[in-house]
Structure 1
Amino acid sequence: MQDLKYIEIETNPNPTASVIWLHGLGASGHDFEPVVPELGLPEDAAVRFIFPHAPNLPVTINGGMRMPAWYDIKAMDIDRVVDKEQLMESSDAVARLVDQEIERGVNSENIVIAGFSQGGAVAYELGLSYPKRLAGILALSTYFATAKTVTLSEANREIPIKVYHGTSDPMVPESLGRLSVDQLKELGYAPSYQTYPMEHSVCLEEIQDIGQFLRRHLL
């Protein structure tokens, strides 16, 4: 996969921390761009937000239509039949963005990986396998597609993980969010789980909670 194009926002010059935030199926990096001012970060916080754009891929469940996607979804059953090879390629491409942030002077322990829906599945894969310690994983309305195949990094065995889900999500049922938490616990992690009365989306309360996570683990 070619290097990803992305949107970049810096809250102040000379960032000391980074958040790489992955959008969902059919969206773009612009999807979460508006949340930055809503996070309630301190005025002097110097954080670089990276919002990558997924490549255009044919998506089986949408009749093979090409759209921004981190990987193909072949069936919408409870196990989410996905193209894991494409998911791994996306994870590798996002890992290069992490590497880039480190090269730009941000310590790996000050980098959070966040993802919504498809982007969350990639965030799980990358965050748990990246060879250097990261600051945390934010998993929004998503599922752990590679729970049985991920190669776990010893550097991130104690990585903070916060999982968010809507109780009325028709696209990714909340049961998949809870399953992800169970799978993470079986692997030895200690994820925190939070739900909101919403569908397949985000809400202000959730964004504010994410801001608290970032203040706790980045600043």
Structure 2
Amino acid sequence: MSAVPLERITIEPNLPATTCVIWLHGLGDSGAGFSPIVPELGLPKNHAVRFVFPHAPEQPVTINQGYVMRSWYDIKSMVLHNRADIDGVLESEVKVRALIAEQVAGGIPASNIILAGFSQGGVMSMFTGLRYPEKLAGIMALSCYLPNADALPEQLSAANSNTEILQQHGDNDDVVPLSAGKMANTLLKAKNYPVKWQTYPMAHSVHPTQIRDIASWLTARLNLA
């Protein structure tokens, strides 16, 4: 387990938290990039959802000439089959699992925790969630791909074989091609995962309609209605 807990932004609900969304940012961003989305979701005022927006460690990134930035893993190439440094993915998986363990230790069961992420963060939410040994409430994968490109991760967890997965992608994405998200979707459906696929008229970003759809999905997964 990671010796040093990840720094993060935590947004507490008005009521004592009984559920949690751990939301992972993309390359070069930080937890501050997505934390402003919470009020935009328009969740019920009496919800009990804690939102955790961790900051990835800083490390050199090959495709950015070795520039040091927040990154869940090194990106070696823009070619999908050689994009993700799998050793770095595995290291970050340990860190994400530690975040889940913190919540469980604090009284929120894994079955009340959603792993969410955008781009690189979405890669980590899918990879970690599909392999996590305890049942999760859901996995949200925004504008992302599988680190193994054309294969599901090894050591898939039976506990999460029927966990709801939300995949969303921009149909004009110039960073993570729509085809990369569709490839992941095809593999998930072939294994009978309950995955929902949605696209939006956007590039590598977030769309207002998408935020409403995320709110609806979270409401259903966390029984907020």
For the aligned pair, the TM-score class normalised by the smaller chain equals over 0.9
SS of the aligned residue for 1:137 comes to strand
Number of the residue aligned with 1:165: 169
SS of the aligned residue for 1:201 comes to coil
- What do the CA deviations read for 1:121-172 (whole angstroms, capped 9, x no partner)? 1111111111110000000000011444431111111000010000101000
Number of the residue aligned with 1:7: 9
Number of the residue aligned with 1:156: 160
Q: In the alignment, is residue 129 of structure 1 matched against residue 131 of structure 2? A: yes
SS of the aligned residue for 2:210 comes to helix
SS of the aligned residue for 2:50 comes to strand
Which amino acid in structure 2 is aligned with residue 121 of structure 1? V
Unaligned runs of 5+ in 1: none
How far residue 79 of structure 1 moved from its aligned partner, in angstroms, is 2.1
Q: In the alignment, is residue 111 of structure 1 matched against residue 113 of structure 2? A: yes
Number of the residue aligned with 2:187: 183
TM-score when normalising by structure 1? 0.96
CA contact (8 A) 1:40 1:211 kept: yes
Which amino acid in structure 1 is aligned with residue 208 of structure 2? L
Mean alpha-carbon deviation: is it higher for 179-188 or for 117-126? Answer: 179-188
Number of the residue aligned with 1:202: 206
1:58-97 equivalence runs, <5 A = 58-97=60-99
Q: Which of the residues 141, 144, 147 maps onto 1:142?
A: 144
SS of the aligned residue for 1:74 comes to coil
| Alignment length (residue pairs) | 219
How far residue 80 of structure 1 moved from its aligned partner, in angstroms, is 4.2
Q: Which of the residues 152, 175, 178 maps onto 1:174?
A: 178
- What do the CA deviations read for 1:26-54 (whole angstroms, capped 9, x no partner)? 00000101100111211110110000000
| Distance in 2 between residues matched to 1:95 and 1:203, nearest whole Å | 29
CA contact (8 A) 1:23 1:116 kept: yes
CA contact (8 A) 1:128 1:150 kept: no
Which amino acid in structure 2 is aligned with residue 127 of structure 1? G
Unaligned runs of 5+ in 2: none
How far residue 188 of structure 1 moved from its aligned partner, in angstroms, is 2.9
How far residue 208 of structure 1 moved from its aligned partner, in angstroms, is 1.1
| Distance in 1 between residues matched to 2:78 and 2:173, nearest whole Å | 14
How far residue 187 of structure 1 moved from its aligned partner, in angstroms, is 2.8
Number of the residue aligned with 2:33: 31
TM-score when normalising by structure 2? 0.94
Number of the residue aligned with 1:55: 57
Structure 1 runs (4+) greater than 4 angstroms displaced: none
Over the aligned positions, Cα root-mean-square deviation in angstroms equals 1.1
How far residue 4 of structure 1 moved from its aligned partner, in angstroms, is 0.9
How far residue 185 of structure 1 moved from its aligned partner, in angstroms, is 1.7
| Distance in 1 between residues matched to 2:35 and 2:117, nearest whole Å | 13
